[in-house]
Amino acid sequence: MGARNAPAGDFPNPPYTRVDKSPITREKPFLYVDDDGAYKVFVPEVRKDSTGTSWSSGTPKGESLPLSDFFIAKPDATAEEMNAALDAGKHLLITPGVYHLDAPLKVTRPDTVVLGLGLATLVPDNGVSAMNVADVDGVKLAGLLIDAGTENSDTLMEVGPEDSSANHADNPTSLHDVFFRVGGAGVGKASTSLVVNSSNVIGDHTWIWRADHGDGVGWDSNTADNGLVVNGDDVTMYGLFVEHYQKHQTTWNGEGGRTYFYQNEMPYDPPGQGAWMNGSTKGYAAYKVADSVKRHEAWGLGSYCFFNTNKSVTAEHAFEVPQSPDVRFHDMVTVSLGGTGTINHVINGTGGPSDANSNVANVTEYP
């Protein structure tokens, strides 16, 4: 993406996917010490149709925020304290640790920065959401792990309420190194991990994971239907990882969506085909674009199966998209890891299978 001097060659041999420019980006906010010894947070500005880094030719464009503008949270901080700081116009700097929340953090002001250090971990208790972001301009969320609690949450994070309608093209909300985990540290449950209702949101490296190992892991233990649901328009995701959910891993309902690099593993643990059926269809797609969508594009996508609980389990296809001239997918691969299970087709009824006889299947362009 916008890489200068990218290696030559084309997918699948060698498996390089190159896109000349990044359509819209914002680099991750970061903590630094200035020449006077003062701690500050630098917030890079939005770049459009960019190549290379923002800082290679000198000081990057953006804004430095003094630490006095932040509420510095330590692991004994409560949701009430952090929400009071947000209401007062403060940003959040969340220091390393595990934060149990009895209410969602509510980000309501435009341009708010929530910066976690050391993958600060937010655990929603009693079935609440960990964070809700209003449909406002320019919120930046970075360096956070959202870890599902033992009581089921409908969603772990919601970016924009259901009725979001504002255009944020000039100052989008962005998520940087924001990870979600359902199970793994212990039993965790969440119906959906991340719901994006606002338009123009940027995702910059997002790992959305129903745990396949660790503690509290099992088909009936760390239950989770969907990883990512996108309802907003013109949402762009870079480096999107969604793994092991029990229904559609990613569902995209908004128009004009774009994904640059998608990595998926289907759930390892369906106990049998009957437990993993989408109506009459075997399994659920790793990436589902809603039938109503007219514009969507994605580059460099992989989906892998390893049905180690029952290797006779089959997924009909990894990618499921409507037939529209402006819905285009580039450079896709499916893999049956060790031949443990089957993905019949790569995208819709095209490509494949990936199975015990032929582990890898590629589709370069669709349609």
Q: Where are the domains of the chain?
A: 66-366
Q: What is the pLDDT of residues 104-115, one digit of tens each?
A: 999 999 999 999
Locate tokens 């390089």: which residue? 16
Structure-block tokens of residue 88: 């007062």
Ranges of beta strands (E only) in 17-112 are 22-25, 30-33, 39-44, 47-50, 62-66, 70-73, 91-94, 98-101, 105-107
E-strand stretches of 47-189: 47-50, 62-66, 70-73, 91-94, 98-101, 105-107, 113-124, 131-133, 140-147, 153-159, 174-182
User: Predicted confidence band at 55 (pLDDT cuts at 50, 70, 90)?
Assistant: confident
CB atoms within 10 A of CB 286: 29
* pLDDT at residue 137 in the model: 98
**CATH code at 66-366:** 2.160.20.10
Report the pLDDT value the prediction gives residue 139, as an integer from 0 to 100. Answer: 98
Place 25 in a pLDDT band, splitting at 50, 70 and 90: very high
Name the token pair of 226: 């969907």
Residue 56 scores a pLDDT above 90:
no
pLDDT of residue 59: 83
- pLDDT digit string (tens) for 254-279? 999 999 999 999 999 999 999 999 99
The single residue listed with the structure tokens 């002001």 is: 109
In the predicted model, is pLDDT for residue 123 greater than 90? yes
Looking at residue 102, what is its pLDDT? 98
For 5, other C-beta atoms within 10 Å of its C-beta total 6
Residues 76-96, mean pLDDT to the nearest whole number:
98
Span 20-41, average pLDDT: 97
**Per-residue pLDDT tens over the stretch 212-258:** 999 999 999 999 999 999 999 999 999 999 999 999 999 999 999 99
Condensed to tens digits (0 to 9), the pLDDT of residues 316-364 reads 999 999 999 999 999 999 999 999 999 999 999 999 999 999 999 999 9
Which residues are marked as active site? 265
pLDDT of residue 57: 80
Task: Output the pLDDT for position 60.
Answer: 86
Give tens-digit pLDDT for 141-152: 999 999 999 999
pLDDT surpasses 90 at 120: yes
- Give the number of other Cβ atoms within 10 Å of residue 258's Cβ: 17
pLDDT confidence band for 314 (50 / 70 / 90): very high
Is pTM, for the whole model, over 0.85?
yes
Residue among 323, 320, 328 at smallest CA distance from 347: 320
**184-202: per-residue pLDDT in tens?**
999 999 999 999 999 999 9
11 pLDDT exceeds 90? yes
Can you tell me whether residue 249 is helix, strand or coil? Answer: coil
Least confident of 37-41, 51-55, 89-93, 121-125: 51-55
| pLDDT at 343 (0 to 100) | 98
**So what's the pLDDT on residue 244?**
98
